[in-house]
Chains A and B, each alone.
Chain A
Amino acid sequence: MSKSEAAVIGIEVEGTVAEQGMLRDSVTDFVRRLCDMSRVRRLRADGVDCDPSFWKRLADLGWLGILVPQAMGGLGLGLTEAAIVAEGLGAALIPEPFNAMGCMTTTALSACAPNELAQELLTRIVAGEQRVALAWQEEPGELDVNLSAMSVEHIGHEIRLNGIKRYVLAGKAAEGFLVSAVTAAGPELYWVPADAVGLQRDYTLLADGRHFGVLRLQDVAVPSRHRLARGEAARVALETARDYATVIAGAELMGLMKSALKMSLDYMRNREQFGKPIGSFQALQHRAVDLFIQQQLASAVLESALEALRNRPDAKQRAIIASRVKARCSDAALRIVRETIQIHGAMGFTDEFDAGLYLKRALVLSAWLGNAACHRRRYARYALGAQL
């Protein structure tokens, strides 16, 4: 089956290794031309999580539809390609929510097909015309999409939602939300525009200057066509979106840790004390090697996860794979950014030096969608379930 044939029937097909190399180059090129740390700092100072003109450029490149099948207006590529983009953006600490909106939301919406409203939303998202966030989580450290305290009442042709959604990473930049609920018939997924009456949006300021959105829904009424999926379909949409975004977050951490380690190694080669480069001291060399080993492990796990996900494992296996990626990448990245500060000495502790930016982004990315401890627990539940 050719790629275009596959795309027509809604199956994503990964590009060849050569195409992936070209994508990697274009991400690197894009990042070099348009992103520098002064932009990252400016957005942080202004409290902006997403610069609309930058977002439009991501859309123009097609990256906001990278996982969306071609038949639904996307590029129809695979997770490996999404990971390449995320790694490149992560390496440059791009704050815009490529993963949360360009991967997680779109994965959930693609899984709602066939659904007219979902397709309308996808078309606008891919074109960069509307920013939509998936609001599914309610409790910290709880990754189960089948648990929700959101209440759903049917009144005439309307549905009334009451409840709270938290930890919505793209929540501040979003112009609308996919809100999940769980009824006796299983999970459901609703479209709630940002200006819906009864929706109150608050933000929690995060370490990296971005925000988690908190959505308080009080008698928010939506027409029944706003229900995008229910039951098994909604569960599959939510779980797939959650697990894919978890793996992509690992890729973003991968890019981040590579940048941070490279910065540390460059410094070790150049900074002199006691008349020698500090990188010649064995204590520091061995520290750097241990960071390199963590980076190698993380990239091997990410690589094998992307390979395994290509074969469409079942939900349990997919969750196990995602947990392995997130646990290792979070731990490795956090260790590398902490040591990056140590290796740079007092300079690493200053706000004007970039080490702190890496640390703070790593803190947020490692906590979002479950930190390493949370994923180890989930891994234990799924992978070791029979023994527990």
Chain B
Amino acid sequence: MTLPENERDYNALSDANFRCEVRAFIEQNYPQKLRFMLRRVKRDEIMEWWRALYLKGWIAPSWPVEYGGMGLNGGKMVIFIEELERYGVVASPDKGITHVGPTIMKFGTEAQKRFYLPRNASGEYIWCQGYSEPNAGSDLANLQTSALIDGENFVINGQKTWTSMAHDSTHMFVLVRTKKNTNKKQEGISFLLVDLASPGITIRPMRNIAGHQEFCEIFFDNVRVPVDALVGKLDDGWRVAKALLSFERLNIGSPRRSQYALRRLQMLAKAKGLFSDSGFVDKYATLTMDVEDLGSLYGRFVEQVKRGEPLGQDVSSLKIWGMETWQRLTELLIETGAEDGVGDGLQNIDDVEIDFLTTFYYARSATIYGGSSEIQRNIIAKYVLQLPS
């Protein structure tokens, strides 16, 4: 299996031409029925789109060309994402592209690169993230799932949880403890690649408050994986895991969710004639300005990426403000919906179709995943404001 060759230098295109080309491709190929989807999509729903991107050579926009990516620089990458967002393209189960790929490129062996990268790109391998455990949430370094070397294998025992879409994935990248009683709990952790078909793995999907099977508990009972499943050095997995995060926090801080909720609110308010209600208009204007100002803050970090500068820890402020603004919007949506706002599923209000609750439910999780708002505040306090501990 080989990736289509990407012989074009996309970075040499003007921003406008590149944007135009990306937009046209999305509009021609992205399935209408999946636009602006509120829940996570399943693998079989999204595979048609995945294949289209793959055949075009666009499935891994941020990967270097030598690995079959588009080799986009920060600025072009932002445009690519903006166009996906503009059209309401749902997030694919693409952790193999966004997380595993870059990790293997940076820390993996040649054999791992040759084996995994093409399979991740084609969608043959779909990845989920095995980080959190029942006693390792915000305190992630407290993880206890163990992997002991036994001959040619690691033997894994323990439990992971809150793993999004594990039941719809083929593989998992997982943080395990390979050494106990270290000085710091961040030491002695390793980064492993695990085939979810391995004997001894039990996956139990859980329903979230939106009623969707999104995250799972994973139980490891003497699961044997080959020693070459290790990425990076043994006991050095914390560093491997941490190397990924800043571009992700920028993406999480994008104003797209809030802009989408604001459009719904606008349609609803229009249908209900609320723009003559000064009380409502005050709230609406405040939130609209919150979203616009979020856009300014996001734009500033994007410019930083475009100039090729690394993002600092202050990007956490984007996630906090972005997610908390989104939450306020979903709350005002429900308030504005009044009695209709608590109806389950799609509600039709004067020909405007709105799913009040799903958006509201998912907004709850936004200040929890990817480092809770409290953890983000700790990060800013420590690294940006340099406050004592």
Contacts and interface: CB of A to CB of B under 8 A. Distances in A.
Interface stretch (A19-27, A124-132, A376-384): A376-384
A361 interface: no
Contacts of A279: 387-388
Contacts of B387: 265, 268-269, 277, 279-280, 285, 288
A300 B296 contact: yes
A102 to B, nearest CB: 27
B289 A297 contact: no
A286 interface: yes
Contacts of B294: 297
A303 interface: yes
B275 A388 contact: yes
A241 B11 CA distance: 42
Interface in B369-389: 374, 377-378, 380-381, 384-389
B233 interface: no
- A: interface residue count bin: 20 to 34
A16 interface: no
B289 A324 contact: yes
Interface of A is mostly: helix
Contacts of A289: 317, 320, 377, 380-381, 385
A173 to B, nearest CB: 34
Contacts of A276: 388
A379 B293 contact: no
Interface string A158-182: 0000000000000000000000000
Given A269-B388, A282-B378, A300-B300, A328 B285 contact: no
Interface in A170-196: none
Given A303-B296, A384-B275, A285 B378 contact: yes
Interface string A276-305: 110110100110111011001100110110
Contacts of A285: 377-378, 381, 385, 387
A327 interface: yes
B379 to A, nearest CB: 9
Nearest to B314: A296
Contact of A384 (B276, B285, B320): B285
Interface string B256-286: 0000000000100110000110000110111
A380 B285 contact: yes
B321 interface: yes
Contacts of B299: 300, 304
A290 B380 CA distance: 10
Contacts of A265: 385-387
B293 A380 contact: no
Interface in B345-389: 374, 377-378, 380-381, 384-389
A363 to B, nearest CB: 20
Contacts of B300: 300, 303-304
A379 B289 contact: yes
Contacts of B270: 387
The 4 A-B pairs with the shortest beta carbon distances in the complex, nearest first, are A285-B381, A380-B285, A279-B387, A300-B297
Interface of A: 265, 268-269, 276-277, 279-280, 282, 285-286, 288-290, 292-293, 296-297, 300-301, 303-304, 324, 327-328, 373, 376-377, 379-380, 383-384, 387-388
Interface of B: 266, 269-270, 275-276, 281-282, 284-286, 288-289, 292-294, 296-297, 299-300, 314, 317, 320-321, 374, 377-378, 380-381, 384-389
28 contacts: A269-B387, A269-B388, A276-B388, A280-B389, A285-B378, A285-B387, A288-B381, A288-B385, A288-B387, A289-B317, A289-B380, A292-B384, A293-B320, A296-B297, A297-B294, A303-B300, A327-B289, A373-B282, A376-B286, A377-B282, A379-B285, A379-B288, A380-B282, A383-B285, A384-B275, A384-B285, A387-B270, A388-B276
